Amino acid sequence: MLTFPDGFLWGAATAAHQVEGNNTNNDWWVKEHAAGTTIVEPSGDAMDSYHRYREDMRLLADAGLTSYRFSLEWSRIEPEPGFVSRAEIDHYRRMVDTAREFGLNPVVSLLHFTVPQWMFEQGFWRNPDAASLFARFTETALPIVADVDYVVTINEPNIAAMLAGGETAANLVAFGLPRPDLQVADALLAAHKASREVLASVPGIKSGWTVATQAFHSTGEPGADEKLREYAYPSDDWYLENARGDDFIGVQAYTRTFIGPDGPIPVRDDVETTLTGWEYFPPALELGVRAAWDLTEHVPVFVTENGIATADDSRRIDYTDGALRGLHAAIEDGIEVIGYEHWSALDNYEWASGFRPTFGLIAVDRETFVRTPKPSLAWLGTVARANALP
């Protein structure tokens, strides 16, 4: 048996806009409904998890998982500048309490891509007041997270900086994405630090941000190694380096990207790909964890996302098994890993790709919202109960 550390957290993750439904006050809702949008379909009711989160958590807990990562929707809590909805604060507080009731350690993300429409209209992350606005939101959220062990400030700031121009790329890996906006990167870092200062006022909260590690590989052509270093630093490494001193670093790993002398190249035709068009590459997780550990100078690592978009659940189990074996190898080498949150708990709304890419451990009927656990959920639950891989 490949045994994981005592107290290792086994969970699954979601994001508010991707599962709640009817987040009509955020920037993505506007993009989804804009004339001429490239977004495949609007989020609409999504998975109606806003009303059904209790059932979702129960399914995870009954399977044997011990953690649940979810995000707050800023636009529900502060729909207008300075106006705070007490009812929404209570809603998300009930989510924390429900997780505890089912024996799930809640991991709460303050920001998972979406912002209120008013914040977007005021300049988004280019607004000079962005960091202070996010710090104020963090203060507003303190009653929700006051007894939460792990709080994520900002989800994937490296991807957020790439999409800061308002792009709605369907393929959130390096090939096809714009280069990061460095002004936005600086603003996200300032917001992260300001948020962590607020969170540090509450004893017991551990905070950090999550980075989409992209497992860059050189093609080996002349100039490719130099281009890889040039490309990787503002895309991944800078964000990992700036997590030094944080309580943890979240790693979100799915696939790898090859870099040639001119930059990222498309996935080859002769490799297995997922429903997002990404290469099927389970070692991405181990590579991301090792990079995070090294570049943060040994900040504890939390796998906050890892998974695969597939209609074949046996491939999901195979992928996850491979990823976890690599993760175990990293732990055996002395890397401190807090836990593993599978992406995703539910089949959900995958941004500009719509509902077609299915990442979930649980299928959802979009007409009736009936939840049907997949064999992969039972498999991961068995691993969690044993705290070990066979």
Rounded distance between C-alpha atoms, residue 73 and residue 26, angstroms? 8
Provide the pLDDT for residue 176.
Answer: 67
Provide the pLDDT for residue 174.
Answer: 57
Rounded distance between C-alpha atoms, residue 389 and residue 324, angstroms? 8
Domain that holds residue 338: 2-212+304-389
Provide the pLDDT for residue 164.
Answer: 82
Within 8 A by CB and 6+ apart from 79, the residues are 25, 85, 116
Q: What are phi and psi of 122, to 5 degrees?
A: -85, 10
Q: Is residue 254 part of a domain?
A: no
Within 8 A by CB and 6+ apart from 210, the residues are 109, 152, 154, 155, 156, 249, 250, 251, 252, 302, 304, 305
Q: Is residue 64 part of a domain?
A: yes
Q: Is residue 283 part of a domain?
A: no
| CB-based burial, 295-319: b 16+ in 10 Å, e otherwise | bbeebbbbbbbbbbbbeebeebbbb
Q: Is residue 244 part of a domain?
A: no
Q: Which amino acid is at 141?
A: A
Provide the pLDDT for residue 25.
Answer: 98
Q: Is residue 238 part of a domain?
A: no
Provide the pLDDT for residue 169.
Answer: 54
Q: Is residue 139 part of a domain?
A: yes
Residue by residue, pLDDT tens for the chain (390 residues) are 999 999 999 999 999 999 999 999 999 999 999 999 999 999 999 999 999 999 999 999 999 999 999 999 999 999 999 999 999 999 999 999 999 999 999 999 999 999 999 999 999 999 999 999 999 999 999 999 999 999 999 999 999 999 886 666 555 555 667 888 999 999 999 999 999 999 999 999 999 999 999 999 999 999 999 999 999 999 999 999 999 999 999 999 999 999 999 999 999 999 999 999 999 999 999 999 999 999 999 999 999 999 999 999 999 999 999 999 999 999 999 999 999 999 999 999 999 999 999 999 999 999 999 999 999 999 999 999 999 999
Q: If you write DSSP's letter for every residue of 330-373 in order, what string do you get?
A: HHHTT--EEEEEEE-SB----GGGTT-S---SEEE-TTT--EEE
Q: Is there a contact between 260 and 205 (Cβ–Cβ < 8 Å)? A: no
Provide the pLDDT for residue 178.
Answer: 82
Return the bridge partners of 207, or none: 151
- 382: CATH: 3.20.20.80
Q: Is residue 58 part of a domain?
A: yes
Domain count, the chain: 1
Q: Is residue 97 part of a domain?
A: yes
Rounded distance between C-alpha atoms, residue 270 and residue 254, angstroms? 19
